[in-house]
Amino acid sequence: MLSAEQEARIEERFRDENLWLWNTYCNDVDVDRIYRTHFMPRKADARYSAMTESELIYRCLGIILESIASSGGESDRGKNRNQGQDSLPVEEE
């Protein structure tokens, strides 16, 4: 993982080139907004590089649980519903 200083140095080094590419090939979009949103380093309360291994594991588990909760377990419910429908009855001779 990169530190905040490393992220800032990388962004600064490639800023002009990235903006030129965006302005050259995507002139019909809001380049400044997109660049600020997706390319500028953000201030973060917690950085993965500063976390202990156990903090990182708990963070990942939290993200997984949040993802499952927001999807409503749709993929699991679909599996249970389709289990019996996919098999064909076997005729004995």
Nearest to 1 by CA among 63, 46, 66: 46
52-71 per-position pLDDT tens digit:
888 878 878 888 888 888 77
10 lies in the same domain as 38:
yes
pLDDT of residue 17: 92
3 lies in the same domain as 19:
yes
Q: Token match 């973060």: residue?
A: 44
What's the domain range around 29? 1-42
Neighbours of 39 (CB within 10 A): 14
Residue 90 has pLDDT above 80, yes or no: no
5 lies in the same domain as 27:
yes
17-52 per-position pLDDT tens digit:
988 988 888 777 788 888 888 788 777 666 666 778
5 lies in the same domain as 37:
yes
Check: CB of residue 10 under 8 Å from CB of residue 2.
yes
Count of domains for the chain: 2
**Cα first-last separation, the chain:** 63
Query: From CA 28, how far away is CA 62, in angstroms rounded?
Result: 38
3 lies in the same domain as 38:
yes
Q: Is residue 35 part of a domain?
A: yes
Q: Is residue 93 part of a domain?
A: no
